[in-house]
Structure 1
Amino acid sequence: MDFKQAYSADNLMFLLEGFGMTLRLALLAIVLSFIVGLLVGVVCYARIPIVSKLLGLLVEMVRNLPLLLIIFFARYGLPEFGIQLNLFWAAILALTVFEAAMIAEIVRSGLRSVDRGLVEASRASGLGAVQTLRHVVLPIGLRRMVPPLVSQFISLLKDTSLTVIISLAELTHNANIIMGQNINIVMPTLLLVAALYFVVNYALSLAARRLEVRRHA
């Protein structure tokens, strides 16, 4: 194993550029998928006639598709319909759609976990359906969703590596290019890539644990 060549200044800079792309991709996809997933999950929970069922069906369809297929569709399928996206935005769209479906189910389940007695008590006290959702169900449900949401965000960060299939210059893509230089630098490069993923994911896990401790405090 040649650690000296693997960790040369040029290779490290190239890996860090890819890591920066991975973080930007993950951060934007997390924000967008959370917003979309929260809205869809609330609508599914609210059981609005027709709309909730259609969204629920769409969520189930997306959740049961491979993410790779969605990435391929965003990159190569959408142009057939006249929608042209560059590599970055094709990846963002694919990740957002897939992760939003997962988050929507987490939100729906979290809201339904709220004690029915609390909902009925709120309605009996004069709160409307929307007020009950906003002031009672959502605050309680969101606190309960923290662990599964963070787990999903960690999965999203790891899923960004799948965008290598469309040649987006993220961490895994750049690592593959470096490893193609010399077989002796494959293992050192993989170790560094694993360490970078671990640091970010572990930080998210620690943040989730602290939030969980505060919730029970």
Structure 2
Amino acid sequence: METFIHAYSWIDIRFLLQGLWVTIYVSLISIALSFVIGIILGFIRYVNIKYVSAIVGFIIDIIRNLPLLLIIFFTYFGLPELGLVTNPTVASIIALVVFEGAMVAEIVRSGIGAVDPGQMEGARSNGMTYMQAMTHVVLPQALHKMVPSLLSQFVSLVKDTSLATIIVLPELLYHAQIIYGQNSTYLIPMYIIIAVMYFIVCFSLSMFANHLQKTGW
């Protein structure tokens, strides 16, 4: 018990909270960007634009079948070789957006495909253009159907930020490693507290998504 009391000193908790903020910061930016990119790529795949959709689909399939850790390594160690200098935060965001954007694109494509084709036909018969019908009728219904899958993917994204500790991103797990690296008896207390912090963040995200569904968003 004394070990836990010392491990959870205000200095250590504040240090962990700094890491948690980096985790949340990287997650929020990655979620926003991957969502936008995923919608665009998913739409391109769905509408089946000649050649373009096939190329986009091929790239998405490649990314989806690569380990996220490999993409993180490439963005941090590979991009500088191409003249693109990155730091751990930027490299982590790029890697997460590329990987999660591909995942979201497939969710979007499936979500649009799940909408009754009659919705598009009805909108077109009322004088809407294809893009107007897609934007105002089909896509809103598709997004509502996608919420559970998108939530699951974004929760995974939050947890996947811990992989970036390998490139020294100063996120939650990395800060915990520093603490128990100085005192090995803090190992279990640190794992417990970071598990609680991850749970709070991911559970809050789940509650937010449930609220959106209940309000009919």
TM-score (structure 2 length as normaliser): 0.96
Which stretch of the first structure deviates more once superposed, 126-135 or 36-45? 126-135
Aligned length: 216
* Equivalent residue letter for 1:206: M
Q: Does 1:30 align with 2:37?
A: no
3-state DSSP class of the match of 2:108? helix
* Equivalent residue letter for 1:185: Y
Partner of 1:77: 78
Partner of 1:17: 18
Partner of 1:136: 137
1:215 deviation in Å? Answer: 3.0
Partner of 1:203: 204
Extract structure 1 runs of 4+ deviating beyond 6 A: none
Q: Distance in 1 between matches of 2:90 and 2:114?
A: 35
3-state DSSP class of the match of 2:182? coil
1:123 deviation in Å? Answer: 2.1
Q: Distance in 2 between matches of 1:203 and 1:121?
A: 38
Q: Deviations over 1:36-77 (max 9, x none)?
A: 111111111111111111111111110110000000000001
Partner of 1:118: 119
Q: Distance in 2 between matches of 1:85 and 1:37?
A: 23
Q: Deviations over 1:185-205 (max 9, x none)?
A: 111111110000000111111
Q: Distance in 2 between matches of 1:113 and 1:53?
A: 20
Partner of 2:92: 91
Q: Distance in 1 between matches of 2:11 and 2:27?
A: 24
Q: Does 1:47 align with 2:54?
A: no
Q: Distance in 2 between matches of 1:204 and 1:92?
A: 19
Q: Deviations over 1:97-134 (max 9, x none)?
A: 00000001111100010101222222233222111111
Q: Distance in 1 between matches of 2:184 and 2:215?
A: 48
3-state DSSP class of the match of 2:170? coil
* Equivalent residue letter for 2:190: T
Q: Deviations over 1:74-103 (max 9, x none)?
A: 000111111111111011100000000000
Q: Distance in 1 between matches of 2:14 and 2:7?
A: 11
- The runs of 5 or more residues in structure 1 that have no matched partner are none
Root-mean-square deviation over aligned CA pairs? 1.3
Q: Distance in 2 between matches of 1:82 and 1:137?
A: 42
Q: Distance in 1 between matches of 2:136 and 2:155?
A: 29
